Structure 1
Amino acid sequence: MNFTFKQLEAFLFSARLQSFSAAAVKLHTTQSAISKRLAELEESLGGPLLHRTSHGLELTQVGRELLPLAEEAQRLWQRIAHDISVDKTLRGTFRVGVTELIAMTWLTRLIQLLQKLHPQVTIEPVVDAGLTLFERLEANKLDLTVMPGTFWGQAFESIKVAEVEQVWIASPRLQIPARALKPHEFADYPVIEQPVGASKNRFYEAWRAEHGFRFGKVMLTNSTTVLRELTISGFGLSQQALDYVRPDIRSGLLRVVKSDPMPPPLVYSAVYRRDNVSPALARIVELAVKTCDFTLRASQHDVAPARALQRQRAAKRAKKPAGITRG
């Protein structure tokens, strides 16, 4: 029996992604190279490991026995490459799933910081609803997701990134009482919600049921931007991150609607498969915790530093003594 790690790696990613072409993209090679390595591995082991179906590649009995060993070999190879090598540079391309709110606030800063500290690590961001992102993570189409939720099963590691204060908000034109609404009173007002695929809904589902929240007319939108705009326009009240809508509250476009009880903080977690951890992936999670901040919208990231620089220059000019002219 004589096979290489590249052959084992070709099998591992073909099995995870259920596709030779997807494995080729992940390993930065060609589909023919992946097929060749797998054929050589199968010849060395004396039997087929994968077979094609209408749903993609599926493991044979031998393949199912080999998969956990291949995953263990990959983890050991990563440790050797990082711990023993003189070059400790982190590298690799990682598919990271985020919700729209993250994409509109701190995702840009995460990518910028990562490029600065680890230029050979690349993030390929995917923006979608939380539950859809988790389905992609389950199918090995993502390496990491950052989304609401705390526990996603024994096969997944969940690292808390942040706790985000959530509040009910509405346009002042709805004339909702200033006092705290009881859960059953929410049925008297239109509510704007995200669809079932939003992991935020799953996070609050049990809490709302426990306290008897009831909604009457509900308008659904899968866009955080549209959710905010509809709320500002007075179509209904919604539940959103306080940090994100704080500028709208200060400007009078929105107001906080109190409830009894108020929603608990929404926990955002970085979630990845336990069998797919690497030093680079762990570093991405660490930087996600560091940069997570919903107070700035993406369009403000470049504007705020520029305005600060303008203010500094204006202050210096104001302090500069007037020149003396000679006559």
Structure 2
Amino acid sequence: MNLTFKQLEAFCFSARLQSFSAAAQKLHTTQSAMSKRVAELEDTLGVSLLHRTPRGLEITQAGRQLLPLAEDSQRLWQRIETEVSANQTLRGTFRIGVTELIAMTWLTRFIKRLQELHPELVLEPVVDAGLTLFQGLESNKIDLAIMPGTFWGASYTTTKVGQVQDPWMASPGMKLPRRALKPHEFANYPILEQSTGAAKNKFYEAWMAEHGFRFNKVFATNSTTVLRELTISGFGISQLALDYVRPDIAAGLLRIVRSDPMPPPMVYSAVYRNDNFSPALERMVALGKELCDFSSRANVPAGDAVAAKPRRRRAAVG
């Protein structure tokens, strides 16, 4: 029996993506090459592994038996290539999904460092809401997502890369008490939040319900940048990443609104499918943990963040 890693690889991706063309795109080859490799594998084993249907590929009983073994072979191949090869440079194209806050802070440094370490690795960043990124993971359109959350299911590897304080913020011009607001008092003020689909909403949903936070007038936006601008302009109270808006607080554009209790830190995790067997993902997760820093805005030199906005009256924080 003369099986090859390439045949098993073609079968794995074609079975998971239910399409020869999608598998070919993932592996940077042609649809005919995918189909040929799977056909050769079927001839060698003497069984049908995938049914070709108008709706796409359907895995057979024999295919279901082979799939976990084929996935094991891919993990072994990756280990051989990574641990034994004299060339430790990672290769390939990977789509990484991040939220807007990451894109505005440390994503550029992450990509630059990754290119320095592995010049033959190509990264395609996707910026979107967390729940949309997770849908991309489910459909194999994204290889790795970094977003708020601590657990995304048993089928996914979830690793904490960092966290950020996400307190309530408002313009100093809003007439808010200096004392800590009780959860029910938030119903007296307009609230700004991110639109449905933000993993941030999912992260805080249970905590807010547990402590009885009530909101009457809510404005939603799908942009962190717009959320910050609306808050500075006095449209309402919002939750903003403290590390990111410290220059705005220092400039008197924003103030922290205390609550009793205060929101817990928001955890950011790197998430990828358990069946995505690439050592590059583990390296990227480790690099993400090293570089995760929400305090430095992208393309803003140190010390210029405050100067980028006109200074207003300094307000007390609290």
Please name the residue that 1:72 is paired with. 72
What displacement does 1:213 show?
0.3
Distance 1:87 1:222, change over 3 A: same
Task: In structure 2, give the amino acid aligned to 1:286.
Answer: A
Give CA-to-partner distance per residue, 1:171-206, whole Å, 9 cap, x none: 122211111100000000111111231111111111
- Segment drifting more, 39-48 vs 159-168: 39-48
Does 2:6 match 1:23? Answer: no
Give CA-to-partner distance per residue, 1:115-134, whole Å, 9 cap, x none: 11121222111111111111
Root-mean-square deviation (Å): 1.9
Alignment of 1:171-186 (within 5 A): 171-186=171-186
What displacement does 1:32 show?
1.6
Please name the residue that 1:60 is paired with. 60
Task: In structure 1, give the amino acid aligned to 2:256.
Answer: V
What displacement does 1:25 show?
1.9
Please name the residue that 1:245 is paired with. 245
What displacement does 1:54 show?
6.1
Distance 1:55 1:196, change over 3 A: farther
What displacement does 1:304 show?
4.3
Unaligned runs of 5+ in 1: 308-327
Please name the residue that 1:116 is paired with. 116
Distance 1:29 1:239, change over 3 A: same
- Segment drifting more, 122-131 vs 184-193: 122-131
Please name the residue that 1:284 is paired with. 284
Alignment of 1:1-327 (within 5 A): 1-52=1-52, 56-300=56-300, 303-304=301-302
Larger Rg computed on CA atoms: 1
* Aligned mates of 1:134, 1:190 — CA distance in 2: 30
TM-score (norm 1): 0.88
For the residue of structure 2 that corresponds to 1:163, the secondary structure is strand
Contact 2:100 2:224 in 1 (8 A): yes
For the residue of structure 2 that corresponds to 1:275, the secondary structure is coil
For the residue of structure 1 that corresponds to 2:146, the secondary structure is strand
* Aligned mates of 2:97, 2:138 — CA distance in 1: 12
Contact 1:16 1:139 in 2 (8 A): no
* Aligned mates of 1:306, 1:200 — CA distance in 2: 28
* Aligned mates of 1:134, 1:57 — CA distance in 2: 23
Task: In structure 1, give the amino acid aligned to 2:198.
Answer: A
What displacement does 1:104 show?
1.2
Contact 1:17 1:141 in 2 (8 A): no
* Aligned mates of 1:19, 1:105 — CA distance in 2: 37
What displacement does 1:250 show?
1.2
* Aligned mates of 1:264, 1:184 — CA distance in 2: 18
* Aligned mates of 2:150, 2:242 — CA distance in 1: 20
Distance 1:223 1:306, change over 3 A: closer
Contact 1:192 1:218 in 2 (8 A): yes
* Aligned mates of 2:303, 2:82 — CA distance in 1: 36
What displacement does 1:27 show?
1.2
What displacement does 1:46 show?
2.7
Percent identity, aligned pairs only?
70
* Aligned mates of 2:166, 2:277 — CA distance in 1: 31
TM-score (norm 2): 0.90
Contact 2:190 2:216 in 1 (8 A): yes
Bigger fraction of residues in helix: 1
* Aligned mates of 2:149, 2:237 — CA distance in 1: 23
For the residue of structure 2 that corresponds to 1:262, the secondary structure is coil
What displacement does 1:257 show?
0.7
* Aligned mates of 2:50, 2:139 — CA distance in 1: 16
* Aligned mates of 2:106, 2:225 — CA distance in 1: 15
Task: In structure 1, give the amino acid aligned to 2:243.
Answer: D
* Aligned mates of 2:277, 2:188 — CA distance in 1: 48
